[in-house]
Amino acid sequence: MAQQHMTKEDRSLGELFTELAADTGTLVRQEVALAQAEITHKVTKAGKNVGSLVVGGAVAYLAVMSLTAAIIIGLAAFMPAWLSALIVAVIFGAVSFFLISPALAELKKTDPMPRETIETLKEDAQWLKNEVK
């Protein structure tokens, strides 16, 4: 007896649609998993940058609180107290700017959209169109 190999053309329309439905279900599950992984990665990266912002802000605040009085009093021996307070405020402001700016720049670069998933969904839509033909 000769073995019969069923080709795509030999299968019934019902079998083809059943296979297409199964393939589509698998594809959708894979796309959801990809989107979840991509979003988790981006949220983790953003969380690290937010952590840097918090630490940078806390360090700037602690520096201001612990050093301001001592520096102002020290400078006040050579100039009016208001001028020494102004100089200290400008210096601490600059230091905090340089601590916070890199983290803000990284956060602005973070793209929350799952770009890879969007691309593969487009490819999947094209595949589905080709399968239905």
pLDDT given at position 43? 84
pLDDT digits 0-9 by tens, 44-84: 888 888 888 889 989 888 887 887 888 899 999 999 999 99
109 vs 133, more confident: 109
pLDDT given at position 1? 45
pLDDT given at position 92? 83
How close are the terminal C-alpha atoms of the chain, in Å?
A: 34
pLDDT given at position 82? 92
pLDDT given at position 7? 59
DSSP state of 113: S
Q: Answer yes or no: are the C-beta atoms of 87 and 127 closer than 8 Å.
A: no
pLDDT given at position 110? 81
Say whether pLDDT at 4 is over 70: no
pTM of the model: 0.39
Counting Cα atoms < 13 Å in the Cβ hemisphere of 92 gives 21
Contacts of 114 (CB under 8 A, 6+ apart): 34, 35, 38, 39, 42
pLDDT digits 0-9 by tens, 97-130: 999 999 888 888 887 777 788 888 888 778 777 7
- Rg (the chain; Cα; Å): 31
